[in-house]
Amino acid sequence: MQTMPLSNETMPKPQAPKRKKGFVYWISRIPLALAVIVIALGVMGAIFQAIATYIDKRNYPAPGQMIDLDGYRLHLYCSGEGNPTVILEAGQPLGVSSWAWVQPELAKTMRVCVYDRAGLGWSDPAPANTPRDGEQMARELHTLLQNAGTPGPYVLVGHSFGGLVTRIFAGAYPGEIVGLVWVEALHPDNFPRKGLPESTLQGLPPESTTFIPPMARLGVMRLVAFLTPDPNLPAQQQAEYRAMFAAAKFWDSIVATEQNFPAINAQARGVDSLGNIPLMIVIGGESESMGVGFEMQNELMILSTNSVQRVVNGATHTSLLHDQQHAQQTLAAILEIVEAVRNGQPLVPGQP
């Protein structure tokens, strides 16, 4: 059988030998590989954060009510009966869980309410276009109480940063306030007079407000446990705070407050008289408020013509609430001012 010769077009072409990928080629691929790894880790971190946040919400349900404030909700926890209603305002960045040693005891003889500011604890974040200054916080608290059907008169109790908020609230709604207790309330000039930056994030660089929120969304703040709860709190409240400190909304709220902190101090400074509203100043004997801070605590007393000061021996700035023994002394101060309000009697200087 005769075969036809193959033409040049049909003859198989010789294959060029494959060139091995050299060192330079693989080096050039490193940035791409790193980018893929970073993106993958980011996606995994975001998924981890979302799942862990969901589990935290399921494990730690809100003890109180979620009250609507025109599109977002704040958490309000009230207990007990009787007038006046005591409103507890926590320091920054804390909330309901800080009052575990105080609220149940107060509720035995009076109506007492504690809440979480927007973005903290169980409360929703505030809308992005809402200013996070002290006047807005006071308005939110007032609206929260009205929407919840909890009218005044009120005795406001503010710890640390909460002292600024309650001071602004008292200036905005003086007819609804019958008493104030400031548990080492911040003086609006506190940090400048101590030679410190006017910041709620003492010890952290200003740029932290840029990188912390994204890190929280990727689960980094949860993994590193940047903030830890006070071990003197009951175990339940410690667990609640661990969950809250890991939430992305928590860090958004901190940054928003930090950015508005000078304005908050200015607004508090503008409330330069409380008339004769009964005012109780509670200070820890071992507190960092001693020294210059102690002088400023004395200055807060002159805002009212009916004011007294109580010093809790051995207590610190945080232990006044978080340590059970010291919290009993804070509780006694609140009971003292409520009793004075109910009886219409002026406060008595010196130890009760």
Helices 161-172/248-269 angle, 10° precision: 60
CATH of the domain at 142: 3.40.50.1820
Residue 169 located in a structural domain = yes
Q: What pLDDT, on the 0 to 100 scale, is given for residue 116?
A: 98
β-bridge mates for residue 112, sequence order: 79, 86
Query: What is the CB neighbour count within 10 angstroms for residue 197?
Result: 12
Residue 86 located in a structural domain = yes
Q: What pLDDT, on the 0 to 100 scale, is given for residue 17?
A: 57
What is the distance between the alpha carbons of residues 287 and 293, in angstroms, rounded to a whole number? Answer: 9
Q: Which residues of 104-140 are buried (b: 16+ CB within 10 A; e: fewer)?
A: ebbbeebbbbbbbbbbbbbbbbbeeebebbbbbbbbb
Q: In what order do the strands lie in the sheet with 112-115?
A: 65-68, 73-79, 112-115, 85-89, 154-159, 177-183, 279-284, 307-312
Per residue of the chain (352 residues), what is the pLDDT tens digit? 455 555 555 555 555 555 555 555 556 656 666 666 656 656 676 686 778 788 888 999 999 999 999 899 999 999 999 999 999 999 999 999 999 999 999 999 999 999 999 999 999 999 988 889 999 999 999 999 999 999 889 999 999 999 999 999 999 999 999 999 999 999 999 999 888 888 887 767 767 777 788 888 887 878 777 789 999 999 999 999 999 998 999 989 999 999 999 999 999 999 999 999 999 999 998 876 655 678 899 999 999 999 999 999 999 999 999 999 999 999 999 999 999 999 988 887 765 4
Residue 3 located in a structural domain = no
Q: What pLDDT, on the 0 to 100 scale, is given for residue 342?
A: 93
Residue 201 located in a structural domain = yes
Q: Determine the structural domain holding residue 220 and report its residue range.
A: 54-343
Closest CA relative to residue 281, chosen from 169, 187, 199: 187
Q: What pLDDT, on the 0 to 100 scale, is given for residue 31?
A: 67
Helix segments in the chain, DSSP class H: 23-59, 103-106, 134-147, 161-172, 190-193, 208-217, 220-224, 235-245, 248-269, 292-301, 319-322, 324-343
Residue 2 located in a structural domain = no
Domain count, the chain: 1
Q: What pLDDT, on the 0 to 100 scale, is given for residue 340?
A: 93
pTM of the model: 0.86
Closest CA relative to residue 259, chosen from 143, 128, 168, 157: 128
β-bridge mates for residue 155, sequence order: 86, 179
Residue 238 located in a structural domain = yes
What is the distance between the alpha carbons of residues 116 and 90, in angstroms, rounded to a whole number? Answer: 8
Q: Which residues of 17-51 are buried (b: 16+ CB within 10 A; e: fewer)?
A: eeeeeeeeeeeeeeeeeeeeeeeeeeeebeeebee
Instruction: List Cα–Cα distances, 190 to 133, 184, 295, in angstroms.
Output: 17, 11, 10
Output the six-digit token pair for 27.
């080096």
Q: Are 241 and 97 a contacting pair, CB within 8 Å?
A: yes
Residue 288 located in a structural domain = yes
Residue 145 located in a structural domain = yes
